[in-house]
A and B are shown apart, each in its own frame.
Chain A
């Protein structure tokens, strides 16, 4: 064998997990899962652009990041991810300030519970626009930059809801949008495979974001919570921090052979 032994010639796996020198953006990073992902990337040394529709929230998280990880860079951007011009502007601003964009977490999204018989067409369209169209727009703008470097990591936040219909709440539009994100991930992952861009997704199970924590205090929340827990083998919801490892892995060189794939982090929900 003339090939070098890849085991002995590769960098240590912990070095390959590191994101030092890389630049990242996270959409919907003003709160919840996005905020946790932004912190996770910064923990590993990446410069992180905190993107949100709400500039105050984005600035708060950016300040938190600089406090927790003083050696990294961070910026806050107010962007509507359903607006193609603003999405292009998002990438341009990061590239202008930091020279490149290596990692993009397209995470922004909304949730809504509504039975399909009661669902207005406007509800449906709003959901598809925010949870699916935005991922297309962001990935396209990000990849137009990443192809120039022949390297990039795109990570879309999908959901276990892309695989199954949740119970008992009705959310046909949300689940369909997330199934769309899983499919889009496969399509873009294969389309851009030879251009050095890796496209993967994260599928969280039920996660205790601040929004969900509020919801669980309502009468409806009290009713659904035991039903959810009864269907989660680990019998607890995820904390947002439970999702950081998967995304850091997919953002790092340690996953460079992985593309068009999905990591489910759901406490075992889909296995039952």
Chain B
């Protein structure tokens, strides 16, 4: 007789917590990544903040260590498009923290450009930053997770991986994000027997510094009302709206979920 799983399991609140786990977040020094770093710390995880800019990394680490007393946070400078740097920083994090249970591969860039005039170099830069980096990071992280037969990898995908945004043109971004959603499925099934869970989070239009910059442009101002008209909830997401999904997908409460994409888009894809 198996024990009744309902009565023998710990409280779901304990299974949603990340107490004592070690987590990393790439692109963790601003926007959605910073919000996820905060949420991980709030849920009790130690956090490695990874970003290209050393100063910005340190700023977020200081926020975390000031606000949350029982966790450790450390900054790591890394360009996630560079294989050697990714391998080195992953090794360093495992050395500093002892292990890595949670990896949120979130770093990415955005750009609006029409496909017919897009230089190949723009395409390549986008794919390197938003897709290649996901492969490089996950590959490096999984080496350590497989040894422990446990790990949670979370990618930041996008609703743009499922639809073509309107009215802005960003074929390279959308193709890269669709690639992330596919990579999620592939790695999840490959590593399922090894205890590593791989899922993605697809935010809708989110108020981030990156999007705010785009919104300041002439086109951005024009586009904003068009976006809102296509979001059933009628507001853009705040970065804090992504925190719950990230913590859920990083916690033991989601251990049977793998290869999925969790869409948090205010209903955008349903219309």
Interface residues of A (CB under 8 A from B): 1, 3, 6-8, 10, 12-14, 16-18, 35-36, 39-40, 43-44, 64, 68, 186-187, 189-190, 193-194, 205, 233-235, 238-246, 248-249, 252, 254-261, 263-268, 270-272
- CB of A70, distance to nearest CB on chain B (Å): 13
Contact partner of B260 among A13, A18, A264, A272, CB < 8 A?
A: A264
Residues of B within 8 A of A205 (CB): 256
In the bound complex, what is the Cα–Cα distance between A168 and B11 (angstroms)?
Answer: 36
Contact partner of A233 among B9, B240, B243, B258, CB < 8 A?
A: B258
Task: Verify A7–B34 contact, CB threshold 8 A.
Answer: yes
Q: A194-B234, A242-B255, A255-B245 are in contact. Are A43 and B11 (CB under 8 A)?
A: yes
In the bound complex, what is the Cα–Cα distance between A268 and B197 (angstroms)?
Answer: 9
In the bound complex, what is the Cα–Cα distance between A268 and B192 (angstroms)?
Answer: 8
Task: Verify B6–A241 contact, CB threshold 8 A.
Answer: yes
- CB of B189, distance to nearest CB on chain A (Å): 4
- Minimal Cβ-Cβ distance residue in B for A270: B259
Task: Verify A189–B269 contact, CB threshold 8 A.
Answer: no
Task: Verify A194–B238 contact, CB threshold 8 A.
Answer: no
Task: Verify A271–B264 contact, CB threshold 8 A.
Answer: no
Residues of B within 8 A of A243 (CB): 256
The 8 A CB mask of B250-271 against A (1 = contact, 0 = none) is 0111111111101111110111
- Minimal Cβ-Cβ distance residue in A for B256: A242
Task: Verify A241–B9 contact, CB threshold 8 A.
Answer: yes
Contact partner of A271 among B17, B254, B258, CB < 8 A?
A: B258
Residues of B within 8 A of A239 (CB): 5, 256
- CB of B254, distance to nearest CB on chain A (Å): 5
Task: Verify B12–A7 contact, CB threshold 8 A.
Answer: no
Contact partner of A17 among B184, B244, B263, CB < 8 A?
A: B244
Task: Verify A271–B188 contact, CB threshold 8 A.
Answer: yes
Task: Verify B257–A264 contact, CB threshold 8 A.
Answer: yes
Residues of B within 8 A of A187 (CB): 270
- Minimal Cβ-Cβ distance residue in B for A35: B6
Which of A10, A13, A255 is packed against the most chain B CB atoms within 10 Å?
A: A13
Instruction: Answer whether residue B52 sits at the interface, using C-beta atoms and an 8 A cutoff.
Output: no
In the bound complex, what is the Cα–Cα distance between A19 and B13 (angstroms)?
Answer: 10
Number of contact residues on B: which range applies? Answer: 35 or more
Task: Verify B232–A240 contact, CB threshold 8 A.
Answer: no
Task: Verify A235–B256 contact, CB threshold 8 A.
Answer: no
Contact partner of A68 among B7, B185, B247, CB < 8 A?
A: B7
Instruction: Answer whether residue B172 sits at the interface, using C-beta atoms and an 8 A cutoff.
Output: no
Instruction: Answer whether residue B241 sits at the interface, using C-beta atoms and an 8 A cutoff.
Output: yes
- Minimal Cβ-Cβ distance residue in B for A194: B234
The 8 A CB mask of B123-167 against A (1 = contact, 0 = none) is 000000000000000000000000000000000000000000000
Instruction: Answer whether residue B223 sits at the interface, using C-beta atoms and an 8 A cutoff.
Output: no
Of the stretches B37-45, B74-82, B100-108, the one at the interface is B37-45
- Minimal Cβ-Cβ distance residue in A for B209: A1
Task: Verify B244–A252 contact, CB threshold 8 A.
Answer: yes
Task: Verify B233–A254 contact, CB threshold 8 A.
Answer: no
Task: Verify A268–B270 contact, CB threshold 8 A.
Answer: no
The 8 A CB mask of B218-238 against A (1 = contact, 0 = none) is 000000000000001110011
Task: Verify A190–B12 contact, CB threshold 8 A.
Answer: no
Task: Verify B43–A14 contact, CB threshold 8 A.
Answer: yes
Contact partner of B241 among A3, A18, A256, A264, CB < 8 A?
A: A256
- Minimal Cβ-Cβ distance residue in B for A253: B244
Residues of A within 8 A of B113 (CB): none
27 sample A-B contacts, Cβ–Cβ < 8 Å, listed by A number: A1-B212, A6-B35, A7-B35, A7-B240, A13-B244, A14-B43, A39-B7, A43-B11, A44-B12, A193-B234, A193-B267, A234-B192, A241-B9, A245-B251, A248-B16, A248-B253, A254-B248, A255-B264, A257-B237, A257-B241, A257-B264, A258-B245, A261-B267, A261-B269, A266-B260, A268-B259, A271-B184
